[in-house]
Chains A and B, each alone.
Chain A
């Protein structure tokens, strides 16, 4: 142990009250920083998992007409106007798109969805709902619908084409439970009767309050849609590579493809802003703790003027004297950070065990 470190430790241990004060400032600052960051990051992670679990990491939707403007020869003096994309609703040849897209290594599975908006009625309650016509087997592979079921049985849904799965908040709204009947209003004004086979909770309020899953064939008939799918949702091995794959799919299939990052950009920005805001707030707390340490060390230096003179007279260099006080700061910072990390982990663990039911409200796509 070097003499400055030895002397620094002695100074520190002798001033126990000042040491505890400085240490506690760092410990709590670091712990709160970790805990708040973990919470905001946890919320973001939960949201991302939920949205990917419900809506997929990548979605292919409407076909668009390729632009041929670059091939056109514009008249002299006229500026070539860039035309907007022309979209056609629905997926053209979804089976072929799925077959080709499965060749990509990042694709785990994909599921075609026929989507439409209808009215639902149960008893005296009415609601406007998002009807998702799905292939149960493919959808179970691609999304977390199996884990989202809080009531009922997915096999009952799979084996019965006149059954549906409804969102948990919608079920509350319609006051419908498993086995109850829900009527859906077709565009031609006819009511179709379905049995509730399951209730799903995605954890995202807008999904849970509006979504109904039905068999694709039945949904196609009910919605009177000519195409078998209005979108294809994908489960990816690496969801972080979704934007690159979306760009590739757009070029390849001439269909609009959007990654989850693109879909949820505003929400992700919100989380980022929240994290930055919390980080700034907690950093200010740590800065205050730092000022506390600085204050304690300054007081320590002022209180040790005599000791500094003694040490200089005994042959200690200026750098040795500086090191004595820097070591004190370093010891407080390192010990405080380590203790703060442990306390932060403990606090985070404790917070994660508080039974909170999250209701995330987002604008669904």
Chain B
């Protein structure tokens, strides 16, 4: 009987192709938007995680002030000094490396081109803790860093803007007011977190930046690489205790510096993306529901329009359950078809958009399957009422219907 009902349902759908297509459009759009939203969310989460991974695992960042970004009070949160770096390195056993950094925005010039970029001053260990790889040349050495040599390593964006296709290694580039030898070119990291270009940077020895750019001996940030297997939380506590002591913060007073765990930042970002994905996914799910109501609407119209047909079927001996299952199967076939078309459409769109916004495209088989089953369920739920109405028609009345 199921097979017969399916046959009858397929014949009925085939008899009215245009209307069948319009009927399923709501479900197509609903399923497609759910899948696109979730796929883009998954891709973005993945992308955030990869970027955070590229910053280096088990890396703690210490900054003056209680929050990230601009607006901190210099007087209340003074910068660090090299003495702080040495103290941390000497006293925290679980620290693999303590890397000082200072940053500044500089204009770099080569030939007749100039470009504004961010310069980071640090030690030779910086390249390792931040997972930088070389495209060509070399990193500056620890000796060069200590000696304050004018040696710089440039990012691929700076190279593109100043050198085009020319090899930058060995050339002299002007940074602000001094001349600097380009010793290495960094391999591209691609788009950084939150739309920043990680490759738009130059890295020079800290001492060089302090003397020739900033004109002071401040250290604006510390990076602490934690040894494999050591407790990150314990290291954070040690850093806090030591810095409070060194910065003469009395009991009960708040810290005037912050310690960030990169993994924590990654988790926060990921959970933000997840929340946003769920929100957008729910909105999309509502449109799927509206698609279901669309099916019910058309099925009801169809039952009224096909009253005579139903009368014929009943007169020649169809029982109530056969008419019910025919219309129900028709609704389920329509909505499942909508689900399939929606899945195909969604993955095509998601593939295009993920390329466009440069996040990985992750095919999620479970979610696609659930979307399909849900679209079939919508057919059952919203097809039942019209189908029952059809099945309960009186054959005499139905045959007389004009």
| B partners with A | no
